């Protein structure tokens, strides 16, 4: 099977510098140049690789890193963080557009209807600037989800007015609720499993699903 995979020419799907109409359109969409270091690496290339892997059947799951170097505690934040995050979020937007413009088989639906995008950081940063005009680590984090069954256009949960700590959220409405729960990754995973038809806590996550995520 490994020999068959190597001989199948799958590498051609990711030859974004090929002189073809398809690859030219892909480069234009993602903003991939034809020369220089950004021609083969960077968030634009990683985003294109992820969508190509999904839509070509190479993989059902793809993980990409679209922004790096964000651990800035000093005033370099004012110079570096904005452009770096803007570039990463632009790559996410191009992924969503690409998936939305590709028909899923002959179903009349799009690949975005059948794909869930999840974006997160391994740690969060304070919303307030510190004494060095930078941002420090925080206990409160955020993630975004898009596509598939996700109900978009909403914010779920909030931070406290003092200390900006996580607060409790009603898992069905997504609103602040003193009797709710602090949302953790496990709640999101349970929601996605629930949408896939897995109603029992088979992964032993020990939380209920965050149903406010789902349309």
User: Given pLDDT bands bounded at 50, 70 and 90, which one contains residue 162?
Assistant: confident
The pTM of this model reads 0.91
Strand partners, 118: 145
CB-side neighbour CA atoms (13 Å) of 100: 10
What was the pLDDT predicted at 1?
A: 84
Contact 121, 133 (CB under 8 A): no
Kindly report, residue by residue over 21-69, the tens digit of the pLDDT: 999 999 999 999 999 999 999 999 999 999 999 999 999 999 999 999 8
Q: What is the pLDDT of residue 206?
A: 97
Over residues 136-152, the mean pLDDT reads: 93
Burial 58-72 (b: 16+ CB within 10 A, else e): eeeebebebbeebeb
**Helices 21-30 and 77-100, packing angle to 10 deg:** 140
């Amino acid at each position: 099977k490994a020999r068959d995979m190597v001989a199948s020419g799958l590498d051609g799907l990711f030859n974004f510098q090929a002189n073809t109409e398809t690859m030219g359109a892909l480069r234009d969409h993602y903003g991939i140049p034809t020369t220089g270091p950004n021609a083969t690496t960077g968030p634009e290339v990683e985003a294109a690789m992820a969508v190509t892997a999904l839509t070509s059947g190479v993989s059902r799951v793809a993980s990409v890193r679209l922004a790096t170097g964000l651990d800035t505690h000093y005033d370099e934040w004012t110079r570096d963080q904005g452009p770096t995050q803007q570039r990463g979020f632009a790559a996410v937007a191009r992924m969503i557009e690409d998936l939305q413009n590709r028909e899923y088989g002959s179903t009349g639906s799009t690949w975005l209807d059948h794909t869930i995008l999840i974006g997160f950081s391994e740690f969060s940063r304070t919303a307030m600037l510190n004494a060095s005009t930078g941002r420090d680590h925080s206990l409160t984090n955020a993630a975004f989800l898009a596509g598939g069954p996700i109900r978009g256009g909403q914010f779920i949960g909030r931070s406290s007015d003092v200390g900006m700590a996580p607060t409790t959220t009603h898992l069905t409405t997504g609103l602040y609720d003193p009797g709710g729960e602090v949302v953790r990754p496990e709640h999101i995973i349970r929601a996605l499993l629930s949408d896939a038809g897995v109603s029992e806590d088979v992964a032993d996550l020990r939380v209920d699903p965050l149903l406010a995520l789902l349309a």
